[in-house]
Amino acid sequence: MALPTKRRNPFIAAWRRWIAFLFICGLAFWLWVLRPFPGEMDENQKASLKPLPALGAVLDGTTVSGLSSGAYMAGQFQLAHADIVTGAAIIAGGPFACAESAFSGIVPDAGLEVLSASRAASGCMLDTLALYGVPDANKLANRARELSEAGRIGDISDVVTDRLYIFSGLNDQVVMPRIVGKTVEFYRNLGVPEANIAAVMDLPAGHAIITLDKGGGCSVNAAPYIVDCDYDQVGAVFTHLLQPVVQPTGPAQGRFIEFDQHAFANELRGHGLSTSAMVYVPPVCEDGGCRVHVAFHGCRQNRNAVAAAFVRDAGYARWADANKIIVLFPEVSESALNNPLGCWDWWGYTGRDYLTREGDQITAIRRMLDRLATPSVGA
């Protein structure tokens, strides 16, 4: 006589499969979170890093540029240290404080970061969420004035004398040209004269820094975010910002130095900076007296993501040699929890002060500039 088979409860079986699935997903997530990102240095590599050199640089007349998140950071640093910055190039970036949530004064940090990130993606990049629409340039200019009056950023009277280069490619699918157009309006509303603003919006470029002969096809929106449009964008930036400018006559002759970046952020919590960064020093700048240009990479454009493409192929070095400019290339790293694409902080992942002189990233970069301005040994 055959024994009766025990019938399985299909609900319990499905429940067990669901629990197992959740467990595997949770385990995979935490393994991903805790994994080291490619390019992280071990202790021996960190110990071998050189310090950022003291070069007796002149900080009055500092200029900045950046792509995408780097464009936002360029604008933030410009306003935070308006006393030394005299020009900024905003390449595929929106206006200052674009992502700041209206609830920034009342929502706890974690919730505020989520709200600001949502606004950043949908109201300051793709313009897809009707709730946000395009940025209100007048309100953002008033916000800058409020922060200035509170002593948290520089004096607006220093900003209105600056020279601005603002760019958006016709084929940019990451930060919409309408958003970048609001950057132009923002500076106009601050009082920057029309003659000081070079707005270039008519080239068929993708989301990238554009060059004469480096990178992918002109309309590409992909890493390394450097494209060939037969246009020397860095040259156009320097030509407009420096006034007067010297044309380069040959290849770069200076040295690229990888330095210990964490030395400038030891006590800063959650700064997000990479262990190391790069600086380019023209031969003429070894003995002091040169100005500084700060070049901010975009998301997915640090050296972990694109090797040295941004540092070497964008075209800064030749123009730096000809015009006695030290080029500082600060760098942020990826974080699985709050910055998986390696973006500069323009929505608050490092804290509420990210727009101001008290922001961790802005603080660390100013310290790097102060180090470059320190007289060199023997000078």
pLDDT tens string 137-194:
999 999 999 999 999 999 999 999 999 999 999 999 999 999 999 999 999 999 999 9
Q: What is the pTM of this model?
A: 0.86
What's the domain range around 266?
Answer: 44-373
65 tagged catalytic = no
In a domain, 183, yes or no: yes
- Catalytic pick among 68, 69, 148, 168: 68
Flag whether pLDDT at 109 surpasses 60.
no
What's the confidence (pLDDT) of residue 336?
87
Q: What is the pLDDT of residues 369-378, one digit of tens each?
A: 999 999 987 6
Distances (CA, A) of 53 to 63, 263, 285, 291, 367: 19, 12, 11, 14, 12
Among residues of the chain, what percentage have pLDDT more than 90? Answer: 74
Contact by Cβ (8 Å): 301, 342? yes
What is the model's pLDDT at position 111?
Answer: 44
Distance CA 121, CA 132 (A): 10
Establish whether the linkage from the previous residue to 224 is cis, with ω within 30° of 0.
Answer: yes
Catalytic residue among 172, 321, 345, 360: 172
Answer yes or no: is 1 within a domain: no
Distance CA 251, CA 341 (A): 32
Q: What is the pLDDT of residue 328?
A: 98
Q: Is residue 54 in some structural domain?
A: yes
The answer to the question of residue 61 being in a domain is yes
Mean pLDDT of 269-288: 95
pLDDT, averaged across the chain: 86
The answer on pLDDT for 98 being more than 60 is yes
Q: What is the pLDDT of residue 41?
A: 56
Q: How many residues does the chain have?
A: 379
Query: Above 90 in pLDDT, residue 132?
Result: no
109 or 63, greater pLDDT: 63
207, 240, 271, 297: which is the annotated catalytic residue? Answer: 207
Point out the least confidently predicted range of 176-185, 261-270, 322-331: 261-270
Active site (annotated) includes residue 207: yes
In a domain, 4, yes or no: no
Q: pLDDT grade, residue 244 (50/70/90)?
A: very high
Known catalytic membership, residue 127: no
Percent of the chain scored above 70 by pLDDT?
79
Q: pLDDT confidence of 127, banded at 50, 70, 90?
A: low
- Would residue 39 count as lying in a domain? no
Question: Would you place residue 134 in the very low, low, confident or very high pLDDT band (cuts 50, 70, 90)?
Answer: low
Is 30 within the bounds of a domain? no
Number of domains in the chain: 1
Per-residue pLDDT for 340 more than 70?
yes
Closest CA to 138 of 178, 190, 193, 74: 190
Structural domain includes residue 6 = no
Q: Give the residue from 296, 300, 319 showing the smallest Cα distance to 212.
A: 319
- Say yes or no to pLDDT of 338 above 80: yes
State how far Cα 138 lies from the chain centre.
23
pLDDT for 7 equals 55
Q: How confident is the model at residue 23 (pLDDT cuts 50, 70, 90)?
A: very low
Grade residue 39 by pLDDT with cuts at 50, 70 and 90.
very low
Is residue 313 scored above 80 in pLDDT?
A: yes
Residue of higher predicted confidence among 40 and 247: 247
In sequence order, the 6+-apart residues with CB closer than 8 A to the CB of 16 are: none
Strands 255-260 vs 276-281: parallel, antiparallel or unpaired? antiparallel
pLDDT greater than 80 at residue 33: no
Residue 1 in this model has a pLDDT that exceeds 90: no
Average pLDDT in the 264-290 region? 94
- Which has the minimum average pLDDT: 7-16, 119-128, 260-269? 7-16
